Structure 1
Amino acid sequence: MDVAVGIVAQRNNERAQDLAATLAETLECEGEHEQTAVSVVVDELTGEVIDVPAVPVASMATRDLVVSIGGDGTLLFVAREVGSTPILGVNLGEVGFLNAVAPDDARAVATDLVTTLRETGSLEGCERFRLEATSDGDWTLEPALNEIVVHGPRRGHGGGATIEVRIDGECYAESHADGVLVATSAGSTAYNLSEGGPLVHPATNALVVTQMAATDSMPPLVVDPETELTISVSGTDTAYVISDGRNRRRLEPPATVTVSLAAEPVRLVGPRGNFVASLDKLDS
């Protein structure tokens, strides 16, 4: 079968752009060698720098494989845009919990994946579930691979709110706090960790509920992903709910937000990273 590949390089990163050009040339040459059409496109910003056809990242959702070149932030962006399309993460960042492939291995891994697609029409990988925040059916925030955060008008002194967290209808915590964070297992190493939440192995099906600078705090709580989570905000004029630090919705308290599993998980393909070994990089 013919294979369609999308490549997204980290913004304003010359190394990522050079690798995108190399991967595009390698995959197209591989297709010619195997007498199979391998169509490669890159994101629009990268296309301004290298001589490869460019399209909006969101349009790559219809391709067979998308390669993300950069740090975890780049992969989070790609995941938001392409949904359940298989993603190969090439790590140019410091830690790279989501990106398992080193730049030197990118050509070989991408070529192997294209060969598998050509021969079988599909790719095996691991799924990472995502979260979405909703409010009374009025709106739904973009899905989050790492975390959903609900917080007051601002962080720090004088900026919090009264925030109540209910677990399957039962009150787990109610306190004046900067906010509350609900993280996936894949996102436990991100914002959750900086707020004192626990590390969770990414293969674990669990969510972590962590209060942020609460006056009467409860320990972070690990729950099943199917748990009914509601977060209510009061005692302030303004609050916000944020998905993966990027997509934001303003709330007018009193307001209640429901956090639940999104319909489509993210599919990561290629070699899996060594989670335990990557933890050493957190101190660097």
Structure 2
Amino acid sequence: MDVAVGIVAQRNNERAQALAATLVDTIEREGARVVVDELTGEAVDATAVPVAAMAGRDLVVSIGGDGTLLFVAREVGPTPILGVNLGEVGFLNAVAPDDALAVVTDLVADLEETGTVEGRELARLQATGVDTEWTLEPALNEVVVHGPRRGHGGGATIEIRVDGQQYAESHADGVLVATPTGSTAYNLSEGGPLVHPSADVLVVTQMAATESMPPLVVEPDSELTLTVSGTDTAYAISDGRNRQRLEPPATVSISLADDAVTLVGPQANFLDGLDKLE
């Protein structure tokens, strides 16, 4: 099989760029076709393309922290991703830099021999408008609905419904719906529970609600709607980056996205990673 690999290095990180250069040389000697992201291409002698153009390749290697992998996942969707960890915690990036060369070489060899690599699928969330037609880019961590600005003083009244039944309605800084992957991110900082990566659930967490309910764990196929009112402007935000301006009263539907993210190679030890959380 003619194997095609993409490599994305953390922006402005010389260590990531040096590792990318080493991987390019090694993979090309193995006979695979390699491209790097455009910024890395300014420092590495390799064909450079936009990260989105790596969608559909056999493997994409993300070198950096979890933030870099989140960015790669947004751009390449279900394309298999290997995370090399240059960050602190590394819930998504299981491979140490010293091991990257051997792991990537083994994956390329598997692809050449069988055409596939084993991986773990991570669910993503899709936020869509109920009153108006819009859809945010899928979220690997969480979808947040909040008032005119994030944080205290920017709240709104937000009603939470699960399968058509009201769970809570309160003035709050916001409400977030998180995947198991996102349980260690914004959800945790807002008092939500940790969720083991193998659990097939979603978490609904209010943010500084005046009449708060405990965070709610629901089945992933639950019908979740968040209705925001009591403010002139509100926002729905996917993974802290993609946002949709709302004109309250407005209802947002949150469900599983069609395509999951596929992580390949060694998997991170979730419980060990918890020790690194601040």
Could you tell me the TM-score, scaled by structure 2's length? 0.98
Equivalent-residue separation in structure 2 for 1:153 and 1:91 (angstroms):
35
In the alignment, what sits opposite 1:114? 108
| CA-to-aligned-CA distance 1:40-67 (integer Å, 9 cap, x gap) | 0000000011111100100100211000
Equivalent-residue separation in structure 2 for 1:70 and 1:156 (angstroms):
28
Q: CA deviation at 1:155?
A: 3.2
1:173 corresponds, among 161, 168, 171, to 168
In the alignment, what sits opposite 1:8? 8
1:92 corresponds, among 86, 91, 104, to 86
Q: Give the match's secondary structure for 1:134.
A: strand
1:221 maps to amino acid: L
1:262 corresponds, among 249, 257, 266, to 257
2:106 maps to amino acid: D
Q: CA deviation at 1:157?
A: 4.1
2:246 maps to amino acid: L
2:266 corresponds, among 246, 253, 271, to 271
Equivalent-residue separation in structure 2 for 1:95 and 1:194 (angstroms):
15
Equivalent-residue separation in structure 1 for 2:26 and 2:101 (angstroms):
7
2:260 maps to amino acid: P
Q: Identity of counterpart residues, as a percentage?
A: 78
In the alignment, what sits opposite 1:34? none
2:21 maps to amino acid: A
Q: Which moved more, 1:124-133 or 1:150-159?
A: 150-159
Aligned residues of 2:183 and 2:195 also touching (Cα < 8 A):
yes
Equivalent-residue separation in structure 1 for 2:269 and 2:204 (angstroms):
25
1:194 maps to amino acid: S
What does 1:108-187 correspond to in 2, within 5 Å?
108-136=102-130, 138-187=133-182
Equivalent-residue separation in structure 1 for 2:18 and 2:258 (angstroms):
35
In the alignment, what sits opposite 1:235? 230
Structure 2 stretches of 5 or more lacking a match?
none
2:40 corresponds, among 39, 46, 58, to 46
| CA-to-aligned-CA distance 1:204-234 (integer Å, 9 cap, x gap) | 1110000000000000011100000000000
In the alignment, what sits opposite 2:71? 77
| CA-to-aligned-CA distance 1:81-111 (integer Å, 9 cap, x gap) | 0010000000100001011100000000000
Q: Give the match's secondary structure for 2:258.
A: coil
Aligned residues of 2:10 and 2:63 also touching (Cα < 8 A):
yes
Equivalent-residue separation in structure 1 for 2:152 and 2:71 (angstroms):
31
In the alignment, what sits opposite 1:21? 21
Structure 1 stretches of 5 or more lacking a match?
32-37
1:14 to 1:254, Cα distance in 2 relative to 1, 3 A: same
Aligned residues of 2:153 and 2:173 also touching (Cα < 8 A):
no
Equivalent-residue separation in structure 1 for 2:257 and 2:269 (angstroms):
26
